[in-house]
Amino acid sequence: MNFELSDEQELIRRTVREFAESKVSPVAEELDREARFPYELVSELAELGLMGLPIPEEYGGAGGDTVSYAIAIEELSRIDSSVAITVAAHTSLGTMPILLFGNDEQKQEWLPRLASGQGLAAFGLTEPDAGSDAGATRTKAELRNGEWVIDGSKIFITNAGTDISACVTITARTGEDEISNLIVPNGTPGYEISAPMHKLGWHASDTRELAFRSCAVPEGNLLGERGRGFRQFMEILDGGRISVASMGVGLAQGAYDLATAYAKERHQFGKPIASFQAIQFQLADMATEIEAGRQLVHRAAWLKDTGQPFALAAAQAKLYTGLLSNRVVNAALQIHGGYGFMEEFAIARLYRDQKILEIGEGTNEVQRMVIARHLGF
């Protein structure tokens, strides 16, 4: 087994880390406080080729592998999760369905724009009554005179309502016992987008509720084979779990970095608190768990890159890093003491941003269900 990253992967880590530290870090607190979408940062990420990192070069992407993509998401999450989820949701949830299941015409129409970062993509799966039970979708699409007429709603959707949002791929019932996926361009009549939702964390990311009222799209906007929507979005979620697991590692690493720096600077009883064994043991546990989580993520990504089954590994990585990031950010805030409770300190933002990592892309409980099923139970 070779645990070394390639020269290209190391270059991506250095490039994204430098960008996150020099560009994202100085504005992260302000963006969070003002709940302002990071348009400028997205534009710069696009210039670096990071909005289409795993998309083939023939469609305008960078042609990177999944390990490289996971590294990029980790490095962004280390500084700010709002920026990281904007990239992750656009790539793994918004763009990837078109790459995996789209026909040539759909790929040529959408992928160059999305991979270049000129437009953002979203994925509309969750509904008010269809969360963990994603197959319980109630949104309907009826084929009438060469058009799919859509009625229904989606909730907690990322990237759908920005000024540069291009499209959303939604799940809909196209028959009594069938689910299909449809591409809905922004601006389509009958496609209504709510005001931004107020969230505990990820304040600078775009989260909306979507409504479809007799919203008509061409028959050709069907993504892949009719009735294959459930299998399609399950495959998309498998890949998305690698993204969220990468975010868990990155956030945990960021929290560890903040705790380590603070522990070296903060003096009590005449010495840095980092000199106390109680603090050292906490930091030692953090570092160990973070490295374990990183290896789980990289293994899942490697399995995907080599064409091997990766759903079990992705679920394990997502479950572990969600729990890991919870433990690490909680301990890191505790090391900060009262200062950690103040919004002026970055650890408070990381603490708020962490919880969704145990909910999005399937809750901890759903991950355990997925893992148990793969184990034969």
- SS3 of 149, please? strand
Catalytic residue ranges: 361
Query: Is the CB of residue 106 less than 8 Å from the CB of residue 59?
Result: no
How far is the C-alpha of 54 from the C-alpha of 315, rounded, in Å?
A: 20
Query: Is the CB of residue 124 less than 8 Å from the CB of residue 170?
Result: yes
Q: Which of 364, 348, 367 is nearest to 356 (CA)?
A: 364
Q: Which of 364, 329, 323, 337 is nearest to 251 (CA)?
A: 329
Write the CB contacts of 79 (distance below 8 Å, at least 6 apart in sequence). Answer: 20, 21, 24, 25, 28, 254
How far is the C-alpha of 13 from the C-alpha of 124, rounded, in Å?
A: 30
First to last CA, the chain: 30
Residue appearing with tokens 């909680």: 330
Write the CB contacts of 270 (distance below 8 Å, at least 6 apart in sequence). Answer: none
Q: Which of 74, 79, 72 is nearest to 11 (CA)?
A: 72
How far is the C-alpha of 211 from the C-alpha of 192, rounded, in Å?
A: 5
Query: Is the CB of residue 208 less than 8 Å from the CB of residue 89?
Result: no
Q: Which of 372, 267, 247 is nearest to 322 (CA)?
A: 247
Residue appearing with tokens 């709603």: 153
Residue appearing with tokens 């479950």: 319
Residue 197, CB-side half-sphere exposure with 13 Å CA sphere = 17
Write the CB contacts of 376 (distance below 8 Å, at least 6 apart in sequence). Answer: none
